Amino acid sequence: MNSVKKVLYIVTPGKHSEAVFNYAKQIAAAKGNLLTVLSISPKIPNRLHRFLTGLSGSEIEQLIAKEEESQIRDLVSQSIKTEPQTSLLFRIGDLLETVIEEVKSTPYSLVIKEKEEPEKSISHASPDFKLLRNCPVPVLLLEPNHLNGFQEICVAIDPLHEDPNNAPLNQRLLATAREAAKREQSNLHIVSAWKLFGDDFIRHRMDPDEFNQAEHAYKENVEKEMQKVVSASNYPGTKESLHLLHGDPKYVIPHFLKTHHIDLLVIGTVVRTGLQGVLIGNTAEKILGDTQCSLLTLKPEE
């Protein structure tokens, strides 16, 4: 994360943890980067306006926004005075639309937001889910209960990629995770999940010995390709361990995160829209609702 030039920290009503804000400052300050705090207050849905009495919808929006602005200014003024140059923005509107508009108009390299509770984040309508799917820059969702330093960092890579964009993405994921591990002086776990395609179907239609041989050969191939990816770049000063996880990544990666007490997961994600996105999603989105750690997602560069 040392490559960050300008950081955007998103706050929403009731979601402006001092711990998350201080960590956002640490990331921005790592190389003297700028920090922008973007406070987004919601618009009152049009369907509710006719039920309001005494105050109009716009008046209520302004009252909420004014209260938020007061709290954010207090948060910034009372924080540790070692922060980088910080600017404040206050908006009323849809969170995703506001964030996308801001990152398109200003060259941010990272968007930070406090992570939602797991039961909320798995919804396709949740702000976290929408950010992962649509934000064009890296997104860091910080778990407020895991901010005493990232002692254990995990990065998930895909060594057997078919998409040509995944090869450079793997290297960016590794570089980002290694930089974070070096800065935090933490352990870095490099994981890859593998599963023989259609194994549940073909397992019972092949000779057991032949199936085991095929599965073993595939595992060895994954391991060899994983070693190639990891050794393609040299990054001294980090304590690294490699883990091959057998099974569906959306199940085995969350299990690994829990059993190894991971504080931060670095993972790639893709933009999926339409029916394909609803039905398939991607691993990062599926993991989102089943983890208690912070999550940093990167997309392939266009």
| Residue 274: per-residue pLDDT | 42
Q: Is residue 137 part of a domain?
A: no
Average pLDDT over residues 100-109: 92
Do 153 and 300 reside in the same domain of the chain?
Answer: yes
Question: What is the residue-averaged pLDDT of the chain?
Answer: 82
The bridge status of strand 152-156 relative to strand 264-268 is parallel
Q: Is residue 59 part of a domain?
A: yes
| Residue 278: per-residue pLDDT | 38
Do 81 and 200 reside in the same domain of the chain?
Answer: no
pLDDT tens profile 105-129? 998 989 999 988 765 555 556 888 8
Q: Is residue 121 part of a domain?
A: no
Q: Is residue 277 part of a domain?
A: yes
Q: Is residue 266 part of a domain?
A: yes
Average pLDDT over residues 199-206: 73
Contact 156, 191 (CB under 8 A): yes
Q: Is residue 172 part of a domain?
A: yes
| Residue 151: per-residue pLDDT | 92
Q: Is residue 283 part of a domain?
A: yes
Do 74 and 209 reside in the same domain of the chain?
Answer: no
Percent of residues, the chain, with pLDDT higher than 90: 33
Structural domain including 178 reads: 144-302
Percent of residues, the chain, with pLDDT higher than 70: 83
Single-letter code of the amino acid located at 220: E
Using a CB cutoff of 8 Å and minimum separation of 24, what contacts does 157-161 make?
A: 157/190, 157/191, 157/192, 157/226, 157/229, 157/230, 157/268, 158/192, 158/268, 159/192, 159/222, 159/225, 159/226, 159/228, 159/229, 160/194, 160/221, 160/222, 160/225
Higher pLDDT, 141 or 85: 141
Do 106 and 60 reside in the same domain of the chain?
Answer: yes
Do 242 and 160 reside in the same domain of the chain?
Answer: yes
Do 272 and 218 reside in the same domain of the chain?
Answer: yes
Do 183 and 295 reside in the same domain of the chain?
Answer: yes
pLDDT tens profile 58-75? 777 888 888 888 888 888
Mean pLDDT is lowest, of 84-93, 131-140, 228-237, for 228-237
Q: Which residue has the tokens 């200014």?
A: 73
Do 165 and 271 reside in the same domain of the chain?
Answer: yes
Task: Show the tokens assigned to 140.
Answer: 């860091």
Q: Quick check: 267 pLDDT over 60? A: yes
| Residue 289: per-residue pLDDT | 74
pTM: 0.85
| Residue 81: per-residue pLDDT | 62
Do 154 and 110 reside in the same domain of the chain?
Answer: no
Do 103 and 239 reside in the same domain of the chain?
Answer: no
Q: Provide the domain count of the chain.
A: 2
Contact 263, 111 (CB under 8 A): no
Q: Say which CATH number the domain at 170 has.
A: 3.40.50.12370
Q: Quick check: 201 pLDDT over 80? A: no
Radius of gyration, CA atoms only, the chain = 21
Residue 302's SS3 state is: coil
Do 173 and 97 reside in the same domain of the chain?
Answer: no
Q: How is the beta sheet containing 152-156 ordered, strand by strand?
A: 86-92, 34-41, 6-11, 110-114, 139-142, 294-298, 264-268, 152-156, 187-194, 239-246
The residue out of 96, 114, 132 marking a domain boundary is: 114
Contact 72, 23 (CB under 8 A): no
| Residue 276: per-residue pLDDT | 38
Higher pLDDT, 200 or 62: 62
Q: Say which CATH number the domain at 88 has.
A: 3.40.50.620
Q: Is residue 133 part of a domain?
A: no
| Residue 279: per-residue pLDDT | 36
- Alpha-helical (H) ranges within the chain are 18-29, 46-49, 57-78, 95-105, 118-121, 127-134, 166-184, 199-202, 208-231, 249-259, 274-280, 283-288
Average pLDDT over residues 238-264: 91
The residue out of 98, 114, 130 marking a domain boundary is: 114
Do 164 and 262 reside in the same domain of the chain?
Answer: yes
